[in-house]
Amino acid sequence: MHEMTHGVTLPKTPREFGFFINGAWRRGRELFERNSPSHDLPVTRTSRCTPEDVDDAVAAARLAFEDRRWAGLPGGARAGVLLRAAEGIRRRRDEIATWEVLENGKPIAQARGEIDHCIACFETAAGAARLLHGESFNNLGDNLFGMVLREPVGVVGLITPWNFPFLILCERVPFILASGCTLVVKPAEVTSATTLILADILTDAGLPAGVYNVVTGTGRSIGQALAEHRDVDMLSFTGSTAVGRSCVHASGDSNLKKLGLELGGKNPIIVFADANLEDAADGAAFGISFNTGQCCVSSSRLIVERTVADRFERILAEKMKKIRVGDPFDPQTQVGAITTAAQNETILGYIAKGKAEGARVLTGGDALECGKGRYIAPTLFSGVTPSMSIAREEIFGPVLSSFHFDTLDEAIALANDTVYGLAASVWSKNIDQALCVTRRVRAGRFWVNTIMAGGPETPTGGFKQSGWGRETGLLGVEEYTQAKSVHIETGDRSHWIAS
């Protein structure tokens, strides 16, 4: 019997995955082995693709786009495939959740919840596939009729990060498919399994060969090759702002491909004295600890009204101490392992810097010993000043910095004092105050008296250096289309050249 944890048998040998081009599996000559961040055991082996494999994948996607095997179908037929894929994900929910846990380290209960969101993404996109349409202009005079057609952009390259391997994938893929585009996906090297499993699910759902292709490998070689590729019409990149910037250069230096960028954040959570402080503290604890703070939308800057700041920080610290951190296969676990060794170092480095720069640790502040994995205690810093590195830089870990304010204007100025603009949350029972903050803080997603709520019906994306474009919702399909204006002469032509 192999090692068991909480009723789950850990893999005896790593599961091997090929990569997927034109409806067929291939195997790379070199393989990458991934260890579970919570159990320190090899769990998967994926191929290190070559730039030639990227060329093959793009060629397959190009052919599948040009011969109209997908874009040429009625929206209802594309919707049918997406709905069958949603069913396929539902059937394989436990399997997908297990591989997410093994590669990423997130708690199993959370992984299952994320997969339910993914199913909803496919269902939402299926509706959008049916309803996607352009505009008509019937007011150009009796001799002229105008139309605006929505056409798929073409071949899309999709690069995803390791923090939500399946969720971020599913917030993009069905919307890209709904638009009629074909695609080549490059998942993060350490979390490729579920992107590859989706290939089988889509095939079983009836997606034609060549429409969804997956290449695996490092960002530096395979991601870069996709970003630079001259036959990719659009690149959708989710990851760090630094690599997002390099994608902008790669596009500029190649074929000026369209870009969708979802990048980093340093998201504020603003708490007014009139808020329900117990609710707000629960929201703040969740906002920074969910997915070990490895979320682009983690609320990592607490901005709290001075009159209640001490009391609020005490309530919050008590709540953060109660968060159950540990083996992600324990169904009670709320916070799992840090996904990569490098990220673990980065987070611990920021905690050390915070202490050295004079901020006070109210709770956490250390690595936690639980089993063989990498764990960090949810950490709250008080006495943070705006120039400290923990105040300015995205940590991407469970580390919350607290700031105090006296006036509404000061709260808004603190919230906007960042190069990022991804998400924000405000807690107040005064509707005027909450709405004023919502209007004046620059962020692509806002939560009032809640945090990280909402489904695939609404768009996501960032202001400022958090990105370009939107994903999910109807805008998330339109993002992968381009508008074409068409004019039709309906009467006799008034001639330019005299007869």
By annotation, the residues acting in catalysis are 262
- Taking CB under 6 A as the criterion, the residue among 44, 98, 124, 163 binding ligand NAD is 163
- Beta strand pairing status for 463-464 and 19-21? unpaired
**Cα–Cα nearest to 78, from 114, 40, 133, 125:** 125
Q: What is the dihedral of CA 339, 345, 350, 355, to 10 degrees?
A: 120
In the complex with ligand NAD, the residue whose CB is nearer, 64 or 296, is 296
**Cα–Cα nearest to 118, from 455, 470, 446:** 455
Nearest distance in Å: CB 235, ligand NAD: 9
Nearest distance in Å: CB 439, ligand NAD: 22
Using the Cα atoms of residue 85, residue 86, residue 87 and residue 90 in order, give the sign of their dihedral: positive
The length of the chain is: 499
Q: Which residue is nearest to ligand NAD (CB)?
A: 219
Binding region for ligand NAD (CB under 6 A) out of 7-15, 36-44, 173-181, 259-267: 259-267
- 268 touches 422 (CB < 8 A): no
**For residues 329-358, which are near ligand NAD according to CB under 6 A?**
none
- Taking CB under 6 A as the criterion, the residue among 28, 105, 210, 264 binding ligand NAD is 264
238 binds ligand NAD (CB under 6 A): yes
* Cα-based distances in Å from 247 to 165, 250, 316: 20, 5, 39
Binding region for ligand NAD (CB under 6 A) out of 197-205, 258-266, 281-289, 410-418: 258-266
161 binds ligand NAD (CB under 6 A): yes
- Taking CB under 6 A as the criterion, the residue among 152, 154, 239, 354 binding ligand NAD is 239
**For residues 420-479, which are near ligand NAD according to CB under 6 A?**
422, 462, 467
Binding region for ligand NAD (CB under 6 A) out of 203-211, 217-225, 315-323, 482-490: 217-225
End-to-end alpha-carbon separation of the chain, Å? 93
317 binds ligand NAD (CB under 6 A): no
Binding region for ligand NAD (CB under 6 A) out of 4-12, 260-268, 384-392, 433-441: 260-268
Binding mask 281-300 for ligand NAD (x = CB under 6 A): ---------------x----
Nearest distance in Å: CB 151, ligand NAD: 26
246 binds ligand NAD (CB under 6 A): yes
Nearest distance in Å: CB 222, ligand NAD: 7
223 binds ligand NAD (CB under 6 A): yes
In the complex with ligand NAD, the residue whose CB is nearer, 47 or 238, is 238
Binding region for ligand NAD (CB under 6 A) out of 38-46, 133-141, 205-213, 240-248: 240-248
The count of chain residues that interact with ligand NAD, using the rule CB under 6 A, is 31
262 binds ligand NAD (CB under 6 A): yes
Where along the sequence are the contacts to ligand NAD (CB under 6 A)?
159-163, 168, 186, 188-189, 218-220, 223-224, 227, 238-240, 243, 246-247, 262-265, 296, 394, 396, 422, 462, 467
